């Protein structure tokens, strides 16, 4: 009788452990990733764009069986600094809204897509950018450091290239900000998407070239948002295995 009781208890214990393991595995599989896309007008919802890349990221990950929520924290005309650094326009900029628009969500992943407005020279060729290069690097470094503190992972994007509609000096200035992002991603050991390479590769195969991707010279159309979303999803899926 005693031996039978021991066998029953043993079987119950094994069954219970199996249930716990199954429940644990199920719970891990169903964990919802929280992703924040932080940036400027090339991130924010925009008239004429059917699906910005934040929407596409959500759909692509869901289709791959990865539960997720994507919060679009893109704001048009934003630079990485504060309105106190440069008030063109007089709105909350990256540093002003970073806590409430990014950190407060406790995200698993954050994409950082800035630079076009930081590099912009309002007074023309040979004049200062809205946010000096050194301050741009410092601001991005601050974002990365604070995201890491809450165990978030960072995907750093270079500002996208410009089309031929924009003056040559603007291309040259923006290249400095692009190169800074590439170096920063390496030194901070975070994921990098070089939008210049991604867009350039597509434009070389498209008869419309870069003008087809950036008809106003600056903002990507739907295909550009798809290209960015595909790259971000590729990174997240690889790290989520």
Cis? peptide before 181, omega within 30° of 0: no
At 165, list the tokens.
């509609």
Q: What is the mean pLDDT of the chain?
A: 91
The confidence band for 160, taking pLDDT boundaries of 50, 70 and 90, is very high
How many beta carbons lie within 10 A of that of residue 64, not counting itself? 12
At 51, list the tokens.
């699906």
Instruction: Give the β-pairing of 109-113 and 191-193.
Output: unpaired
pLDDT of residue 14: 45
Q: 173: phi > 0 → left, psi -120 to 50 → alpha, else beta; which? A: alpha
pTM given for the model: 0.88
Tens of pLDDT, residues 188-238: 999 999 999 999 999 999 999 999 999 999 999 999 999 999 999 999 999
For the chain, the three-class secondary structure string (H helix, E strand, C coil) is CHHHHHHHHHHHHHHHHHHHHHHHHHHHHCCCEEEEEEECCCCCCCCCCCCCHHHHHHHHHHHCCCCEEEEEEECCCCCCCCCCCCCCCCCCCHHHHHHHHCHHHCCCEEEEECCHHHHCCCCCCCCCCCCCHHHHHHHHHHHHHHHHHCCCEEEEECCCCCCCCCCHHHHHHHHHHHHHHHHHHHHCCCEEECHHHHHHHHHHHCCCHHHHHCCCCCCCCHHHHHHHHHHHHHHHHHHCC
191-193 β-sheet, strand order:
68-74, 33-39, 109-113, 153-157, 191-193
Tens of pLDDT, residues 119-159: 999 999 999 999 999 999 999 999 999 999 999 999 999 99
The confidence band for 240, taking pLDDT boundaries of 50, 70 and 90, is confident
At 227, list the tokens.
């290209």
How many beta carbons lie within 10 A of that of residue 168, not counting itself? 10
In contact, 96 and 82? CB cutoff 8 Å: yes
Q: How far apart are CA 193 and CA 155, in angstroms?
A: 7
pLDDT at residue 23 is higher than 80: no
**% the chain with pLDDT above 70:** 88
Q: How far apart are CA 62 and CA 77, in angstroms?
A: 30
Instruction: List Cβ neighbours of 82 (8 Å cut-off, separation of 6 or more).
Output: 93, 94, 95, 96
Query: Which one-letter DSSP state was computed for residue 93?
Result: -
Q: Which stretch of 13-17, 37-41, 46-50, 221-225 has the lowest confidence by average pLDDT?
A: 13-17
pLDDT at residue 168 is higher than 70: yes
CA 67 vs. chain centroid, Å, equals 18
């Amino acid at each position: 009788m005693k031996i039978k009781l021991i066998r029953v208890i043993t079987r119950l214990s094994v069954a219970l452990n199996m249930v716990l393991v199954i429940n644990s595995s199920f719970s891990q599989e169903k964990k919802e990733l929280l992703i924040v896309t932080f940036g400027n007008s090339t991130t924010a919802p925009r008239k004429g764009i059917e699906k910005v890349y934040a929407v596409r990221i959500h759909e692509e990950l869901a289709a791959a069986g990865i539960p997720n929520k994507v919060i679009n924290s893109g704001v048009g005309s934003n630079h990485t600094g504060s309105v106190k650094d440069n008030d063109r326009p007089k709105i909350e900029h990256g540093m002003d809204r970073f806590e409430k628009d990014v950190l407060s969500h406790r995200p698993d992943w954050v994409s950082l897509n800035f630079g076009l407005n930081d590099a912009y020279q309002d007074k023309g060729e040979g004049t200062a950018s809205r946010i000096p290069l050194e301050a741009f690097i410092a601001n991005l470094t601050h974002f990365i450091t604070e995201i890491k503190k809450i165990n978030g992972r960072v995907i750093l994007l270079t500002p996208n290239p410009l089309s031929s509609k924009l003056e040559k000096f603007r291309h040259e200035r923006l290249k400095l900000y692009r190169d800074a992002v590439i170096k920063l991603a390496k030194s901070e050991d975070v994921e990098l998407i070089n939008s210049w390479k991604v867009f350039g590769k597509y434009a070389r195969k498209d008869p419309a070239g870069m003008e087809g991707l950036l008809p106003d010279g600056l903002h990507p159309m739907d295909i550009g948002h798809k290209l960015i979303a595909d790259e971000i999803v590729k990174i997240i899926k690889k790290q989520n295995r």
